[in-house]
Structures are given as C-alpha cells and as structure tokens.
Amino acid sequence: MGRLVAVGLLGIALALLGERLLALRNRLKASREVESVDLPNCHLIKGIEAGSEDIDILPNGLAFFSAGLKFPGLHSFAPDKPGGILMMDLKEEKPRARELRISRGFDLASFNPHGISTFIDNDDTVYLFVVNHPEFKNTVEIFKFEEAENSLLHLKTVKHELLPSVNDITAVGPAHFYATNDHYFSDPFLKYLETYLNLHWANVVYYSPNEVKVVAEGFDSANGINISPDNKYIYVADVLAHEIHVLEKHPNMNLTQLKVLELDTLVDNLSIDPSSGDIWVGCHPNGQKLFVYDPNNPPSSEVLRIQNILSEKPTVTTVYANNGSVLQGSSVASVYDGKLLIGTLYHRALYCEL
C-alpha cells in the first residue's frame, strides 16, 4: 500500500512538472516564427556589437544607449568587456555612437547597465538613471549628464530591499523613479522556480529619498516601464504574460490599473513618442530562442507601434520584424523626428529612416 501511494504521489508530481513545463513553453512562445517586415532605409550602428538593451532620447535628439548587459544564462558576444553608456546625436547628418566617459570613483569594471531613463529638471539639468547589476546584484545609479564634456557625473547609488530584481526604470524627479522588479527574489535559483511555477509575484516600486513603496503587483514578469507625455499614466510591460498594463498615477504616486492590452509576443521595453503619445515596443517573438542561443537559429526581432492605447480598440502595427538574420533579440524601439532606433538584448542596434 505504501509503495502504491508513493508511486501515485510521484505520478502527480511528474504530471505537475510536465504541465508547468508546457505552460512555460507557451509563455515563451517557444514555437513562434515571424514573417519579415522590412524597412527600406536601415543600417546597423557601428560600434554597438554586444547589446543595446535600452534607449532613451532627449528632446534635443541626443540618444542614450545601455550597452553590454550580462546575466547568468544569457548569451554575450563580449563576456569579458564591462558595459557602458553610449550616446548618439540624431540631429547629425550621419549620427554615430560614442561611449560616454564616467566620472572617477565609479566602479567601471563591474558596470552592467540594464534599463535607463532620463529626467530634465526645471533648471535644465539632465539626469540619467541606470539600472545596474554589478556582480549580478541590483542597484540604480543616478548620473548628471554633462553635455559639454560628453560625460556622466555619478551622483548616487540606490539600493533597497524593495528593489531585489530591478529590470527597468522611469524617472519622475531628480532622485525619484518608478522601477519594475521582474522577480520577487534575487537568488538565481529562486528566480527560476518563481518563473517555472508562474507565481505572479513581480511588482512595480516607487522610490524617493523619503518614501519607498510597492505601488503595483501581481505581474508574471514586470519588464519595461514608461510614463505618458502628460504624466498621468504609467505603462508596464509584462513580458511573459504578453501584456501591457495601463495604470493611473495619483498625487501620492500610487498606481491604479485601468486596463490591460493583450498581445501575441513577449513585450520588453516601452518607449513613448512625445508628440503623439504612441508606444513603441521592442519585442521577442520567441523567448526560448533568446535564452537558449543557437547561432544557426538565432532569436528574432519585432517592433510594435501602439496608437491610442487608452481607447477601446488601440491600433497595433508591426513596424519591423526579422528572423535574426539582421537583428537578434530586439528589446527596445525609440523614435525621434522620423528616425527609429532598435536596440537588442545582446546583439547589434539598427538605425532607420521612417
């Protein structure tokens, strides 16, 4: 009788594991392939060879790139090179990417930048917020951009127990931001279990020097985050749930969910066109290819444009799609004055004239 019970429990456990594995494959869109959607005037950006995970563009056309992200289990084309912040002036006739100098005293050797966001203060000071994973830990670095010197002055490192697995950030003040935690845990094994079991424990945190609090939770894996041009709404990408959440921002900085837009792809970073309010999304059509890298069958890329997200029927357009032959693992798409920049998790970056 005891053996029969043991066999029965083992069977139940194996069935549960099989169901979770099948569910994870579905969340990763492991069988999905994309049909190419080409843009006529594009070229790869020289100097970006090992990822440009996030991009943020200032109103004057200066674009910041987060380059060289490394993570356990994630492929890298430059595993021994530290990450950096690159800049491109989109008002130049032939823009090129340049790496910004960072002030002395900052640990460049362990710099591992992820999501980024800019904030312009009332006195026109430009702050750059960078999610950093030094030695695979989690911090937020705050820099002052010094345009005349093409450099970044490091001001502050933010660490907090409510920021255990930071992915992306949107700045709302000189030392204030919303950030996504893509996992509840910081330990790699517990992160894997959390993802495998589909616990929906990821969240969004508001940080200020005086207050830190969870303002939204229940996400599968909260990823990209951004704010509407009128500062009324926060947009959050839930990458493994294939969703974009629209949340209303209140005066006390709390958030209330208004709606969820369901998509058929893994949504990564969100960029906002300040003139139209359109959301541009870097997407992963097949997440399994992203994490199980095969140079003969590389991860594909996809860029979506979402118009009128607050309406009952937002317009979703596939602007670009590639099977990995040109661009692998698109993570962000940002527009400025008829120009489109597409960044990737660990590959190249693309510049297009729309």
Catalytic positions are 114
CA dist., res. 291 & res. 307, Å (int): 30
Q: How far is CA 144 from CA 100, 128, 156, in A?
A: 12, 6, 10
Q: Is 268 annotated as a binding residue?
A: yes
Q: Is 53 annotated as a binding residue?
A: yes
Q: Is 269 annotated as a binding residue?
A: yes
Q: Is 296 annotated as a binding residue?
A: no
Q: Is 116 annotated as a binding residue?
A: yes
Nearest CA to 217 out of 191, 193, 173, 181 is that of 181
DSSP string, 49-112: -S---EEEE-TTSEEEEEE----TT---S-TTS--EEEEEETTSSS---EEPEE-TTS--TT--
CA dist., res. 228 & res. 237, Å (int): 14
Q: Is 262 annotated as a binding residue?
A: no
Q: Is 273 annotated as a binding residue?
A: no
The DSSP code for 209 is S
Nearest CA to 64 out of 338, 354, 287, 334 is that of 334
| Contact between residue 11 and residue 40 where contact means Cβ atoms under 8 Å apart | no
- Give the contacts of 88 (CB within 8 A, at least 6 positions apart): 45, 62, 63, 65, 95, 96, 97, 98, 341
CA dist., res. 33 & res. 70, Å (int): 25
Nearest CA to 335 out of 94, 90, 120, 84 is that of 90
Q: Is 54 annotated as a binding residue?
A: yes
Binding-site entries = 53-54, 116, 167-168, 223, 268-269
Residue positions in the annotated binding site for Ca(2+)? 53-54, 116, 167-168, 223, 268-269
